[in-house]
Amino acid sequence: DTVAVIGLGYIGLPTAAVLAQAGKTVIGVDIKQSNVDAINAGKVPFVEEGLETVVAGTVAQGKLSAQTETPVADAYIVSVPTPFKGDHDADLSYIEAAAAGIAPKLSGGELVVLESTSPPGATEHMAQVILEARPEFTTEPNLPNSLYFSHAPERVLPGRIMIEMVENDRIIGGLGKEAGELNRELYASFCHGELLVTDARTAEMAKLTENAFRDVNIAFANELSIISERQGIDVWELIALANHHPRVNILQPGPGVGGHCIAVDPWFIVSADREYSNLIRTAREVNDSKPELVLDKVMKKADKLKNPLVAALGIAFKANIDDLRESPSKDIALALTDRLDHGTVLVVEPNIEELPKEFAGKDNVQLAELDDAVERADIVLLMVDHDPFKEFDREKLREKVLIDTKGLWR
């Protein structure tokens, strides 16, 4: 029962760890030697609650190991990035590279699961790459030369991955019934949620649909926030009131939508059908327009001051995490350093120790403590609803120009 997990990132490594914990012999594969070395030493190269304990334990038991080369295994799980290329199309080259690594190791009967978030048809494409390299195999089931392909998208929330990986219901989409069944059996070893089996294309689309649903709902909130401001209405009160209706549940506006999922996946639907995806595309555009509107607001206030000091509170992509990738609030802080001719940005981000590399070489930005930054600032720009900001003493804000993009200090 050997499982190879290709790609040991935010999803691949937790998946490898819970499979090893469930008793499988798991070999993780990553192109980055430093990640491989870290994992073999029982360490995790990024922050995720509860993961390091499981990695350290399973490595010590000999159930989990990592290497750079794809091994021979009974099942393969592909968990590699699907970035954009061109006009928001999915770049499948990492999946193709993983498939090319798997192909020479196959001897018949193996299951290959695609976990990466992918546009409809990606699982079929992965199968095709492997079958082109190994034409002696077939997707016809129950033959000595059968191969089984399936898609199992993850739906875990960063920060809660180790809990949600085990507890969430899971969609499984086989290229054929037998492949779906084999995938279901493998995932039943660690997943206690319901395992819902369908075909690969539906599973691919289901994952995109979940994130597009959330994106459209947030875009609705963001559009309301823009309209409300022009109408002199408090959008947070408005939404709270509307949400009292038993069938209304509007999400919260903010400075934009970040992360690697909600702001990305809807584009894969748009890219699959540009003609009929108007609502989904417009939602993306509304959410992507928010950072510029926030910047305009800050600059209008800053232009009235001689040497404005702006405290930028929060640059993570959402509350209480240290993840700065695809973060609208980080982009806003960065743009401010360019636009403020005679001003300074004091970045307050309690979850990091130093500013990310994009800020290197800029002399009008500093990482600051919350109290100190607010005390010094003319303008306080709140962008992330981190807990320490929620608990902040509002008396200390009285003299400040406040721009509260999360409605935390109303």
Q: Which residues are catalytic?
A: 207, 261
Q: Is 228 among the residues that bind ligand SAJ (CB under 6 A)?
A: no
Tell me whether residue 156 or residue 374 sits nearer to ligand SAJ (CB atom). Answer: 156
Tell me whether residue 134 or residue 406 sits nearer to ligand SAJ (CB atom). Answer: 406
- The C-alpha atoms of residue 100 and residue 300 are separated, in whole angstroms, by 54
Q: Is 178 among the residues that bind ligand SAJ (CB under 6 A)?
A: no
Tell me whether residue 265 or residue 378 sits nearer to ligand SAJ (CB atom). Answer: 265
When CB distances to ligand SAJ are compared, the closest residue is 261
Cβ neighbours of residue 9 closer than 8 Å, sequence gap 6 or more: 46, 79, 80, 81
Q: Per DSSP, which regions of 41-147 are E strands? A: 64-67, 75-78, 84-85, 89-90, 111-114
Of the listed pieces 148-156, 174-182, 226-234, 274-282, which binds ligand SAJ according to CB under 6 A? Answer: 148-156
Q: Binding to ligand SAJ (CB under 6 A): which residues in 234-253?
A: 251-252
Alpha carbons within 13 A on the beta-carbon side of 3 = 31
Contact between 312 and 381 under an 8 Å Cβ cutoff? The reply is yes
Tell me whether residue 318 or residue 386 sits nearer to ligand SAJ (CB atom). Answer: 318
Tokens of 11: 């999803």
Local structure of 225: helix, strand or coil: helix
Tell me how far, at minimum, the Cβ of 18 lies from ligand SAJ, in Å: 15
Cβ neighbours of residue 15 closer than 8 Å, sequence gap 6 or more: 5, 77, 79, 115, 154, 165
Which DSSP state fits 138? B
> Phi/psi at 93 (nearest 5 deg)?
-65, -30
Contact between 342 and 304 under an 8 Å Cβ cutoff? The reply is no
Q: Is 262 among the residues that bind ligand SAJ (CB under 6 A)?
A: yes
Of the listed pieces 38-46, 151-159, 171-179, 181-189, which binds ligand SAJ according to CB under 6 A? Answer: 151-159
Contact between 306 and 342 under an 8 Å Cβ cutoff? The reply is yes
Tell me how far, at minimum, the Cβ of 235 lies from ligand SAJ, in Å: 12
Contact between 88 and 119 under an 8 Å Cβ cutoff? The reply is no
Which of 257, 295, 381, 383 contacts ligand SAJ by CB under 6 A?
Answer: 257
Residue type, 204: E
Q: Is 254 among the residues that bind ligand SAJ (CB under 6 A)?
A: yes
- The C-alpha atoms of residue 39 and residue 81 are separated, in whole angstroms, by 19
Which of 99, 156, 295, 313 contacts ligand SAJ by CB under 6 A?
Answer: 156
Tell me how far, at minimum, the Cβ of 283 lies from ligand SAJ, in Å: 12
Q: Is 227 among the residues that bind ligand SAJ (CB under 6 A)?
A: no
Tell me whether residue 243 or residue 307 sits nearer to ligand SAJ (CB atom). Answer: 243
Report the run of H or E that residue 238 belongs to, with start and end.
helix 235-242
Q: Is 210 among the residues that bind ligand SAJ (CB under 6 A)?
A: yes
Tell me how far, at minimum, the Cβ of 237 lies from ligand SAJ, in Å: 16
Which whole-number Å values give the CA distances from 30 to 21, 107, 190, 247, in the listed order?
A: 20, 22, 22, 46
Q: Binding to ligand SAJ (CB under 6 A): which residues in 302-321?
A: 317-318
Q: Is 114 among the residues that bind ligand SAJ (CB under 6 A)?
A: no
Tell me whether residue 30 or residue 265 sits nearer to ligand SAJ (CB atom). Answer: 265
Tell me whether residue 7 or residue 258 sits nearer to ligand SAJ (CB atom). Answer: 258
Tell me how far, at minimum, the Cβ of 256 lies from ligand SAJ, in Å: 7
Contact between 20 and 84 under an 8 Å Cβ cutoff? The reply is no
Tell me how far, at minimum, the Cβ of 364 lies from ligand SAJ, in Å: 26
| Cα angle: 4, vertex 8, 9; to 5 degrees | 150
Tell me how far, at minimum, the Cβ of 314 lies from ligand SAJ, in Å: 10
Q: Is 218 among the residues that bind ligand SAJ (CB under 6 A)?
A: yes
- The C-alpha atoms of residue 40 and residue 26 are separated, in whole angstroms, by 12
> Phi/psi at 198 (nearest 5 deg)?
-145, -165
Binding footprint of ligand SAJ on the chain (CB under 6 A): 154-158, 210-211, 214, 218, 251-252, 254, 257-259, 261-262, 317-318
